[in-house]
Protein backbone atom coordinates (compact mmCIF):
# COMPACT_ATOMS: atom_id res chain seq x y z
CA UNK A 1 0.00 0.00 0.00
CA UNK A 2 0.99 3.63 -0.41
CA UNK A 3 0.85 5.48 2.90
CA UNK A 4 2.46 8.49 4.51
CA UNK A 5 1.83 11.33 6.97
CA UNK A 6 1.62 15.08 6.78
CA UNK A 7 5.17 16.43 7.11
CA UNK A 8 6.70 19.89 7.21
CA UNK A 9 8.99 21.04 4.40
CA UNK A 10 10.23 23.99 6.49
CA UNK A 11 13.69 22.40 6.73
CA UNK A 12 13.73 21.68 3.02
CA UNK A 13 12.00 19.39 0.56
CA UNK A 14 14.75 16.76 0.55
CA UNK A 15 14.75 16.70 4.35
CA UNK A 16 11.02 15.87 4.30
CA UNK A 17 11.62 13.07 1.78
CA UNK A 18 14.39 11.67 3.99
CA UNK A 19 12.16 11.88 7.06
CA UNK A 20 9.34 10.07 5.26
CA UNK A 21 11.65 7.24 4.24
CA UNK A 22 13.04 6.98 7.79
CA UNK A 23 9.58 6.22 9.24
CA UNK A 24 8.55 3.68 6.60
CA UNK A 25 6.39 6.03 4.52
CA UNK A 26 6.36 5.92 0.75
CA UNK A 27 4.56 9.23 0.27
CA UNK A 28 3.67 12.32 2.30
CA UNK A 29 1.52 15.44 2.33
CA UNK A 30 2.88 18.96 2.88
CA UNK A 31 1.54 22.50 3.07
CA UNK A 32 2.42 24.68 0.10
CA UNK A 33 2.89 27.67 2.42
CA UNK A 34 2.06 28.86 5.94
CA UNK A 35 -1.30 27.11 6.51
CA UNK A 36 -2.80 30.07 8.38
CA UNK A 37 -1.14 32.81 6.37
CA UNK A 38 -0.27 33.49 2.79
CA UNK A 39 3.48 33.65 2.67
CA UNK A 40 5.47 31.10 0.67
CA UNK A 41 9.20 30.55 0.89
CA UNK A 42 11.30 30.79 -2.25
CA UNK A 43 11.78 27.43 -3.97
CA UNK A 44 15.21 25.84 -3.63
CA UNK A 45 15.43 24.06 -6.97
CA UNK A 46 18.65 22.25 -6.10
CA UNK A 47 17.05 20.88 -2.93
CA UNK A 48 13.95 19.86 -4.87
CA UNK A 49 16.12 18.03 -7.41
CA UNK A 50 17.90 16.24 -4.55
CA UNK A 51 14.59 15.21 -3.03
CA UNK A 52 13.28 14.08 -6.42
CA UNK A 53 16.29 11.80 -6.92
CA UNK A 54 15.74 10.34 -3.47
CA UNK A 55 12.06 9.72 -4.24
CA UNK A 56 12.94 7.91 -7.45
CA UNK A 57 15.58 5.82 -5.68
CA UNK A 58 13.14 4.82 -2.94
CA UNK A 59 10.21 4.20 -5.31
CA UNK A 60 7.97 6.66 -3.50
CA UNK A 61 4.34 7.13 -4.47
CA UNK A 62 2.57 10.36 -5.49
CA UNK A 63 2.88 13.33 -3.14
CA UNK A 64 -0.02 15.51 -2.03
CA UNK A 65 0.35 19.26 -1.56
CA UNK A 66 -2.22 20.90 0.72
CA UNK A 67 -3.45 24.45 0.17
CA UNK A 68 -3.46 26.81 3.17
CA UNK A 69 -6.57 26.99 5.33
CA UNK A 70 -6.87 30.70 4.55
CA UNK A 71 -7.70 29.94 0.91
CA UNK A 72 -11.45 30.56 0.64
CA UNK A 73 -12.81 30.86 -2.89
CA UNK A 74 -16.39 31.10 -1.54
CA UNK A 75 -15.88 34.08 0.78
CA UNK A 76 -18.47 36.85 0.92
CA UNK A 77 -15.59 39.35 0.70
CA UNK A 78 -14.13 40.08 -2.74
CA UNK A 79 -10.70 40.82 -1.26
CA UNK A 80 -10.54 37.43 0.43
CA UNK A 81 -11.55 35.70 -2.80
CA UNK A 82 -8.95 37.65 -4.80
CA UNK A 83 -6.24 36.70 -2.30
CA UNK A 84 -7.35 33.05 -2.48
CA UNK A 85 -7.16 33.10 -6.28
CA UNK A 86 -3.68 34.61 -6.13
CA UNK A 87 -2.50 31.95 -3.65
CA UNK A 88 -3.95 29.10 -5.68
CA UNK A 89 -2.51 30.30 -8.99
CA UNK A 90 0.87 30.84 -7.31
CA UNK A 91 0.73 27.39 -5.72
CA UNK A 92 0.00 25.74 -9.06
CA UNK A 93 2.94 27.56 -10.66
CA UNK A 94 5.27 26.53 -7.82
CA UNK A 95 4.08 22.92 -7.80
CA UNK A 96 4.82 22.61 -11.51
CA UNK A 97 8.49 22.70 -10.44
CA UNK A 98 8.08 19.99 -7.81
CA UNK A 99 7.48 16.22 -8.09
CA UNK A 100 3.90 16.49 -6.86
CA UNK A 101 0.88 14.94 -8.57
CA UNK A 102 -1.99 16.20 -6.40
CA UNK A 103 -3.03 19.54 -4.87
CA UNK A 104 -5.63 19.28 -2.10
CA UNK A 105 -8.06 22.16 -1.52
CA UNK A 106 -10.87 22.71 0.97
CA UNK A 107 -13.69 23.84 -1.33
CA UNK A 108 -14.54 26.90 0.78
CA UNK A 109 -16.96 28.40 3.30
CA UNK A 110 -19.85 30.54 2.10
CA UNK A 111 -19.92 32.60 5.34
CA UNK A 112 -23.69 33.04 5.21
CA UNK A 113 -24.17 33.50 1.47
CA UNK A 114 -25.65 30.02 1.15
CA UNK A 115 -24.33 26.86 -0.50
CA UNK A 116 -25.62 27.72 -3.98
CA UNK A 117 -24.05 31.20 -4.02
CA UNK A 118 -20.82 29.92 -2.47
CA UNK A 119 -20.59 27.12 -5.03
CA UNK A 120 -21.08 29.62 -7.85
CA UNK A 121 -18.16 31.70 -6.51
CA UNK A 122 -15.90 28.63 -6.26
CA UNK A 123 -16.75 27.62 -9.82
CA UNK A 124 -16.11 31.14 -11.12
CA UNK A 125 -12.74 31.26 -9.37
CA UNK A 126 -11.63 27.85 -10.66
CA UNK A 127 -12.66 28.79 -14.19
CA UNK A 128 -10.60 31.95 -13.87
CA UNK A 129 -7.52 30.14 -12.49
CA UNK A 130 -7.34 26.90 -14.46
CA UNK A 131 -5.98 26.97 -18.00
CA UNK A 132 -6.14 23.26 -18.83
CA UNK A 133 -2.37 23.07 -19.11
CA UNK A 134 -1.75 22.20 -15.45
CA UNK A 135 0.24 19.00 -14.94
CA UNK A 136 -1.36 17.96 -11.67
CA UNK A 137 -4.83 17.17 -10.35
CA UNK A 138 -6.67 19.51 -7.98
CA UNK A 139 -8.41 17.45 -5.32
CA UNK A 140 -11.55 18.80 -3.65
CA UNK A 141 -11.59 17.52 -0.08
CA UNK A 142 -14.75 16.10 1.47
CA UNK A 143 -15.65 18.19 4.50
CA UNK A 144 -17.22 17.47 7.90
CA UNK A 145 -19.99 20.07 7.60
CA UNK A 146 -18.70 22.47 10.24
CA UNK A 147 -20.23 25.95 10.08
CA UNK A 148 -20.75 27.11 6.49
CA UNK A 149 -18.33 24.65 4.84
CA UNK A 150 -19.14 23.60 1.31
CA UNK A 151 -18.31 20.01 0.42
CA UNK A 152 -20.11 18.20 3.25
CA UNK A 153 -21.95 16.01 0.74
CA UNK A 154 -20.98 14.22 -2.45
CA UNK A 155 -23.64 16.28 -4.22
CA UNK A 156 -21.95 19.54 -3.17
CA UNK A 157 -18.60 18.32 -4.48
CA UNK A 158 -20.22 17.21 -7.74
CA UNK A 159 -21.89 20.60 -8.21
CA UNK A 160 -18.47 22.26 -8.21
CA UNK A 161 -16.98 19.72 -10.61
CA UNK A 162 -19.90 20.07 -13.01
CA UNK A 163 -19.44 23.83 -13.29
CA UNK A 164 -15.69 23.88 -13.98
CA UNK A 165 -14.69 24.02 -17.65
CA UNK A 166 -11.44 22.13 -17.03
CA UNK A 167 -13.17 19.47 -14.96
CA UNK A 168 -10.68 16.83 -16.12
CA UNK A 169 -8.21 18.52 -13.77
CA UNK A 170 -10.43 17.91 -10.74
CA UNK A 171 -10.56 14.88 -8.46
CA UNK A 172 -11.56 14.14 -4.87
CA UNK A 173 -9.68 13.46 -1.66
CA UNK A 174 -11.97 11.57 0.72
CA UNK A 175 -11.29 12.32 4.37
CA UNK A 176 -12.51 9.41 6.51
CA UNK A 177 -13.02 11.54 9.62
CA UNK A 178 -14.84 14.23 7.68
CA UNK A 179 -17.27 12.02 5.78
CA UNK A 180 -18.12 10.08 8.96
CA UNK A 181 -18.83 13.36 10.76
CA UNK A 182 -20.87 14.48 7.76
CA UNK A 183 -23.15 11.45 8.18
CA UNK A 184 -21.70 8.85 5.82
CA UNK A 185 -21.63 5.59 7.78
CA UNK A 186 -18.20 4.15 7.00
CA UNK A 187 -18.54 1.86 10.01
CA UNK A 188 -21.91 0.33 9.22
CA UNK A 189 -22.17 0.58 5.44
CA UNK A 190 -18.84 1.21 3.71
CA UNK A 191 -20.03 -0.47 0.50
CA UNK A 192 -23.12 1.71 0.49
CA UNK A 193 -21.08 4.90 0.99
CA UNK A 194 -18.77 3.99 -1.88
CA UNK A 195 -21.72 3.04 -4.10
CA UNK A 196 -23.22 6.47 -3.39
CA UNK A 197 -19.92 8.16 -4.22
CA UNK A 198 -19.68 6.18 -7.46
CA UNK A 199 -23.25 7.03 -8.46
CA UNK A 200 -22.91 10.77 -7.73
CA UNK A 201 -19.27 11.55 -8.57
CA UNK A 202 -17.65 8.38 -9.92
CA UNK A 203 -14.97 6.30 -8.21
CA UNK A 204 -12.61 7.14 -11.07
CA UNK A 205 -12.50 10.69 -9.66
CA UNK A 206 -11.38 9.50 -6.22
CA UNK A 207 -7.61 9.96 -6.21
CA UNK A 208 -6.52 9.92 -2.54
CA UNK A 209 -7.72 9.43 1.03
CA UNK A 210 -7.00 11.28 4.24
CA UNK A 211 -6.93 8.28 6.57
CA UNK A 212 -8.03 9.53 9.99
CA UNK A 213 -9.95 8.14 12.92
CA UNK A 214 -12.51 10.47 14.53
CA UNK A 215 -13.04 11.78 18.05
CA UNK A 216 -16.70 12.40 17.23
CA UNK A 217 -19.70 10.17 16.45
CA UNK A 218 -21.40 9.63 13.10
CA UNK A 219 -23.12 12.78 11.82
CA UNK A 220 -21.64 15.13 14.43
CA UNK A 221 -20.66 17.73 11.83
CA UNK A 222 -17.45 18.32 13.78
CA UNK A 223 -13.91 18.05 12.44
CA UNK A 224 -11.92 16.32 15.20
CA UNK A 225 -9.27 13.87 14.01
CA UNK A 226 -8.06 11.00 16.18
CA UNK A 227 -5.19 8.53 15.99
CA UNK A 228 -5.87 5.36 14.04
CA UNK A 229 -7.73 2.81 16.16
CA UNK A 230 -8.35 5.23 19.05
CA UNK A 231 -11.53 6.89 17.84
CA UNK A 232 -15.12 6.18 16.94
CA UNK A 233 -14.15 4.39 13.74
CA UNK A 234 -11.62 2.00 15.27
CA UNK A 235 -9.13 -0.48 13.84
CA UNK A 236 -11.62 -2.83 12.19
CA UNK A 237 -13.28 -0.06 10.21
CA UNK A 238 -9.87 1.29 9.18
CA UNK A 239 -8.94 -2.25 8.12
CA UNK A 240 -12.07 -2.46 5.96
CA UNK A 241 -11.18 0.87 4.33
CA UNK A 242 -7.54 0.16 3.51
CA UNK A 243 -8.30 -3.33 2.20
CA UNK A 244 -11.41 -2.43 0.19
CA UNK A 245 -10.94 -3.29 -3.51
CA UNK A 246 -12.07 0.19 -4.58
CA UNK A 247 -9.62 1.95 -2.23
CA UNK A 248 -6.59 -0.22 -1.49
CA UNK A 249 -4.50 0.97 -4.45
CA UNK A 250 -5.00 4.67 -3.70
CA UNK A 251 -2.47 6.71 -1.67
CA UNK A 252 -3.42 7.14 2.02
CA UNK A 253 -2.36 10.27 3.91
CA UNK A 254 -2.41 10.44 7.72
CA UNK A 255 -3.55 13.68 9.35
CA UNK A 256 -3.82 12.27 12.85
CA UNK A 257 -2.65 14.13 16.01
CA UNK A 258 0.88 12.72 15.98
CA UNK A 259 4.51 13.71 15.99
CA UNK A 260 6.91 11.98 13.58
CA UNK A 261 7.59 9.04 15.91
CA UNK A 262 3.85 8.56 16.32
CA UNK A 263 3.40 8.49 12.58
CA UNK A 264 6.03 5.76 12.33
CA UNK A 265 4.04 3.61 14.78
CA UNK A 266 0.81 4.39 12.97
CA UNK A 267 2.21 3.44 9.57
CA UNK A 268 3.33 0.09 11.01
CA UNK A 269 -0.13 -0.39 12.52
CA UNK A 270 -1.98 0.33 9.27
CA UNK A 271 0.34 -1.91 7.27
CA UNK A 272 -0.33 -4.70 9.80
CA UNK A 273 -4.06 -4.30 9.20
CA UNK A 274 -3.50 -5.00 5.52
CA UNK A 275 -1.60 -8.20 6.37
Per-residue pLDDT tens digits for 209-237: 999 999 999 999 999 999 999 999 999 99
Report pLDDT for 37. 78
Which stretches in the chain have pLDDT values below 50? Answer: none
Rounded Cα–Cα distance for residues 230 and 145 (Å): 22
Report pLDDT for 55. 98
Which residues pair with residue 171 across a beta bridge?
139
- H helix runs in 101-248, sequence order: 115-129, 154-163, 176-181, 190-200, 234-242
Report pLDDT for 228. 98
Report pLDDT for 39. 80
Largest separation between any pair of C-alpha atoms in the chain: 51
The CA-based angle 223-227-233, given to 5 degrees, is 70
Three-state secondary-structure class, residue 175: strand
Report pLDDT for 193. 98
Query: What's the sign of the alpha-carbon dihedral 192, 196, 197, 202?
Result: positive
Rounded Cα–Cα distance for residues 115 and 174 (Å): 20
User: 156 and 150 in contact (C-beta within 8 Å)?
Assistant: yes
Report pLDDT for 220. 97
Query: Domains of the chain (ranges plus CATH)?
Result: 2-274 (3.20.20.150)
DSSP assignment, residue 254? E
Amino acid sequence: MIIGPHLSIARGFSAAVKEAVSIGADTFQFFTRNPRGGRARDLDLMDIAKGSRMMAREGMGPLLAHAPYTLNLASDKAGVRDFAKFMMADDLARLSRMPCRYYNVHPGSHVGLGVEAGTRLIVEALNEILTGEEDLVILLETMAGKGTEIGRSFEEIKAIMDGVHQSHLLGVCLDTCHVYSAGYDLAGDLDGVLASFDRIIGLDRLKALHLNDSKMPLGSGRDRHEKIGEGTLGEEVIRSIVTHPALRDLPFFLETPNEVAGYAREIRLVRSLVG
